[in-house]
Amino acid sequence: MGVFTVLTRCILQPLSVVDDELVPKVGMTFTTLEDAGKFYRNYAKAAGFSTRVRCTNRKGNEIKNQLITCSREGKWKSKISPTEKTNSTAGLNCPARIYIHTLKDVGAWIISKVVLDHSHPCCPSKAEMLKQHRELSMSIRRTIENNEEAGIRPSKTYQSFVAAAGGHRELNFIEKDVRNYITREVRNIPSKLNGYKGHANIKQEMSQVVWNSHSKDSFDRNWNDFLLNFGLGDNKWLSGNVFLKSASEVEQAERESDTADFHTVIPCATKSCIEAQFQDAYTHAKFREVQAQFRGKANCITRLKNSALGYSVYEVGEQVSSSIFNKFVVTYDSVAAEVKCHCLLFESRGILCRHALSVLSFEQVSQVSPRYILERWSKKVKRRHTHIKSSHDEPLMEPRSKRFDQLVFRSQNICEFASESEELTAILHRAYDNVMAEMEALKAKRKGTSSLSHEDANLESVNELQSPPRIRTRGRPKNRLGSKLEKQIANATKKKKTKVLSEINLFDAASAAHSNCSQYQGHVMSYQFRVPAAGDNSLGV
């Protein structure tokens, strides 16, 4: 019951945060099929999942109906054995879908069936990282093309977008989309290589390096070998195309990994319930390490050596070759649900070894203690360093530069929309002219009221002006006009204060001596002093 409750909450969570206007309902009508599909995609982005067209029925050249489902609908059987499969899969037989068909008489499209429930949790905050919801606007594509023509690396181009938007989270695409667009659409590669002999072989080898390098280190190594083999070390354009990982790029890679952990599943290699427990809790990267131990368990032979009061000692033989077995001692405490192996893999790497897993299987344990599932490798853990402010969070620039970047970034979508036709472009031009005239009038009005002529200036307005801040200079200050007079005034004030203080001290001494007389014993006397005015040497009591 508890598991069902948690799963239900995860499934229903998106519906509670999505506006009711975005939720698809039976009976909704749309002018075109594209409008219906766009409406469902917008809902999917707000709810935290992606969609795909499951099937489309036609009659001749006309579409009659269409089924759009959650992208995690269906479950395909892989040709690779589960014991060898390590890649993740997204299919989870998710039932979420909408069914759209045409209305012949009206010429519109209507939603006839809606299923909102999912077989998996949805996360709206990670929806922007899903492939369907990532896109490159026209202004972004133009910038990529110009930068590529200028020889700017894709990583630098992407970082410029990050800096302009204010961080990775403000973009609806990733660096991989920039690289894919360059590879598919820009194709400036032939013009860079046509001058070399055997440029076809160069392009083929370069493609192998780009697509078959699975890490930064392997890419750097393969790319340097590629430049050396073809004598391209002097080519500045090719030499500049090296992937450099900065701190922000590492953060972005982890965000992409988090999204993959949440929206895909690596199938279990065995039928073990313990493996399923780790599959549900751990990230893909760490679960692959755990799976290696489950696969290695097949080479282990477990024998019970001693058992008393729930404490058992096992000897596990691991076959490392056709005739060699390594022996390990494993202890299991059924009362404390604790297992220990002398190989100390868990103590060193935090992963249960295949010897311990073999003993747990021998003891028919279906769930391991929570102490063996470390939180730092959980896919649900919240990364702390991603919330540390970076240089993109608060750009160090003057207010005018900030406003300029914000206006440019917002105007890109307007320009892209208006460029679709001459009529829309003309509307935007007229709007620009009207806005420009209004802003110039406001600026002229403010300039007229803020400027003061010689006749309009008065004492009140002059008093509002502030003197410039005083700045300390190095060394001894130079003599200036009026400094001699200021010294005379300061000396006279100092002598005056010294005289007043001496009189007060004499008065205090006389009061103390007078208070010792017998005729004033038991009486309290209070004195009130006034601050002496200029030229007044008297003292008020």
pLDDT tens digits in sequence order for the chain, 541 residues long? 333 333 333 433 444 568 888 899 999 999 889 999 999 999 998 898 989 999 999 988 889 999 999 988 876 666 676 666 666 666 678 999 999 999 877 889 999 999 999 988 888 877 777 888 888 887 788 888 888 878 888 899 999 999 888 888 788 888 889 988 888 766 575 556 656 767 677 877 877 777 666 566 777 788 888 888 888 777 766 765 544 344 455 566 667 777 776 778 888 888 899 999 998 888 888 899 999 999 999 999 999 999 999 999 999 999 988 888 999 999 999 999 999 999 999 988 889 999 999 999 999 999 999 999 988 888 776 655 444 444 444 444 467 667 777 887 788 888 888 898 999 999 999 999 999 999 988 988 886 654 444 444 443 443 443 444 454 555 555 555 455 656 666 776 666 556 555 554 544 544 444 444 444 333 333 333 344 444 444 333 3
Query: Exposed, middle or buried, 416 (CB in 10 Å: 0-12/13-18/19+)?
Result: middle
Residues 150 and 239 placed together within one structural domain of the fold: yes
Answer with the one of 104, 129, 154 that is the final residue of a domain.
Answer: 129
pLDDT at 77: 66
Are 200 and 218 members of one domain? yes
87: helix, strand or coil: coil
Identify whether 425 is part of a domain. Answer: yes
Looking at the domain assignment, is residue 431 inside a domain? yes
pTM: 0.46
In the numeric block, the tokens 């001290």 are attached to 505
| Domain boundary, last residue among 214, 238, 260 | 260
Verify that 238 and 304 share a domain, yes or no. no
Inside any domain, residue 14: no
The arrangement of strands across the sheet holding 97-103 comes to: 29-30, 108-115, 97-103, 62-70, 51-59
Name the token pair of 386: 């991603």
Same domain flag for 100 and 211:
no
151 and 99 in a common domain: no
On whether residue 305 sits in a domain, the answer given is yes
The answer to whether residues 124 and 184 belong to one domain is: no
Residues 283 and 366 in one domain: yes
Q: Is 37 among the domain residues?
A: yes
Rounded Cα–Cα distance for residues 478 and 26 (Å): 86
**Sequence-separated (6 or more) residues with CB below 8 Å from residue 216:** 243, 245
Q: Are residues 44 and 142 in the same domain?
A: no
Evaluated on CA atoms 199, 201, 205, 207, the torsion sign reads positive
> What is the CB neighbour count within 10 angstroms for residue 275?
20
Phi first, then psi: give them for residue 394, nearest 5 degrees.
-135, 85
Q: In DSSP terms, which residues pair with 328 in a beta bridge?
A: 316
Residue that terminates a domain, selected from 333, 349, 377: 377
Residue 501: predicted pLDDT:
52
Instruction: Give the pLDDT score at 376.
Output: 82
For the chain, how many structural domains are there in total?
4
Is 145 in the same domain as 205? yes
pLDDT for res 516: 45
Q: Copy the structure tokens of residue 498.
A: 């010294």
Residue 215 lies in a domain: yes
Q: Helix 154-165 crosses helix 247-263 at what angle (to 10 degrees)?
A: 90
Answer yes or no: do 293 and 373 share one domain: yes
How big, in percent rounded to 5, are the helix, strand and coil portions of the chain?
50, 15, 35
Indicate whether 73 belongs to any domain: yes
Answer whether residue 328 is part of any domain: yes
Cβ within 8 Å of residue 107, ≥6 positions away: none
Predicted local distance difference test score (pLDDT) of residue 337: 93
pLDDT, position 124? 85
pLDDT at 129: 78
Domain residues for the domain of 38 are 28-77+89-129
CB atoms within 10 A of CB 123: 19
State whether 43 and 121 are in the same domain.
yes
CB-based contacts of 139: which residues, under 8 Å, 6+ apart?
412, 415, 416
Q: In terms of domains, do 195 and 236 share one? A: yes
